[in-house]
């Protein structure tokens, strides 16, 4: 394992968390993340063209959905990578 210089943090030891303003919808087996296009209500009211969704939607494929499902606020990036490698390790091109 690489030694980390003093004062630096390994991102593999970071614990990702889901933000409260991101919602999860489902299309079959894949997650669709939705988050507000604008941070403030007044911006949405004045800057959002009519007919445009106030949210941005991001459709995750199988791997992205697996990562999203593993983000629980407790697992580190290192643990998530390990679980993904075990789950998808048999797949060609993974």
**CB contact at 8 A, 32 and 26:** yes
Q: How many CB atoms lie within 10 A of CB 83?
A: 15
- Interval 1-36: pLDDT, tens: 667 778 788 999 999 999 999 999 999 999 999 999
Show the DSSP H helices in 1-94 as ranges: 41-47, 62-70, 77-88
Chain mean position to CA 29: 16
Domain boundaries in the chain?
Answer: 19-60, 61-94
| pTM strictly above 0.95 | no
Are residues 34 and 22 in contact, defined by beta-carbon separation less than 8 angstroms? Answer: yes
pLDDT tens per residue across span 29-81: 999 999 999 999 999 999 999 999 999 999 999 999 999 999 999 999 999 99
């Amino acid at each position: 394992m690489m030694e980390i210089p003093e004062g630096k943090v390994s991102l593999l030891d970071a614990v990702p968390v889901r933000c409260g303003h991101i919602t999860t919808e489902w299309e079959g087996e894949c997650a669709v993340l939705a988050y507000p296009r604008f941070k403030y209500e007044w911006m949405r009211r004045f800057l959002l063209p009519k007919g445009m969704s106030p949210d941005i939607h991001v459709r995750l494929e199988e791997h992205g959905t697996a990562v999203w499902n593993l983000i629980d606020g407790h697992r580190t990036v290192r643990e998530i990578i390990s679980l993904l490698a075990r789950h998808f390790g048999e797949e060609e091109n993974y």
